[in-house]
Amino acid sequence: MAEFKDFLKLDIKIGTIIKAEEFKKAKKKAYKLEIDFGSKIGIKKSSAQITEKYQVEDLINKQIVAIINFPPKQIANFISDVLVLGIYTNDGVVLLSPDKIVENGTTVG
């Protein structure tokens, strides 16, 4: 069982996707995302396998939830800085996002 102190180790923030493009070199269909987490954190990159439910144009200016303190992960020729959170469904991943616009960099918890 995880304990509350384990949850507190995760730095989960709100960010806004400012750029999205097809990730052609990924083994599984994915997008490369650039996400603005506000002036204190800046812009981070992520690879996300969300192509079943989202088109590139659907993602621009969408606020999302991400874990920002995992180590960077190399995927093909791309470094993913953050883990964007979503819900796995039978027909693709649904992104987690706030139901109201909040400031980029806001902590989830």
Number of domains in the chain: 1
Q: Is residue 83 part of a domain?
A: yes
Q: Is residue 108 part of a domain?
A: no
Q: Is residue 55 part of a domain?
A: yes
| pLDDT above 90 as % of the chain | 99
> Which residues on adjacent β-strands are paired with residue 63?
16
| pLDDT above 70 as % of the chain | 100
Q: What digits encode the pLDDT tens for the residues 82-109?
A: 999 999 999 999 999 999 999 999 999 8
Q: What digits encode the pLDDT tens for the residues 61-83?
A: 999 999 999 999 999 999 999 99
Q: Could you tell me if 34 and 80 are in contact, meaning their C-beta atoms sit under 8 angstroms apart? A: no
Q: Is residue 86 part of a domain?
A: yes
Q: CA-CA distance, 65 to 67, in Å (whole number)?
A: 7
Q: Which pLDDT does position 109 carry in this prediction? A: 84
Q: CA-CA distance, 18 to 57, in Å (whole number)?
A: 10
Q: CA-CA distance, 76 to 69, in Å (whole number)?
A: 21
Q: Is residue 54 part of a domain?
A: yes
- Closest among 75, 96, 76 to 87, alpha carbons compared: 96
Q: Is residue 39 part of a domain?
A: yes
Residue 71: give its domain's CATH number: 2.40.50.140
Domain that holds residue 68: 20-95
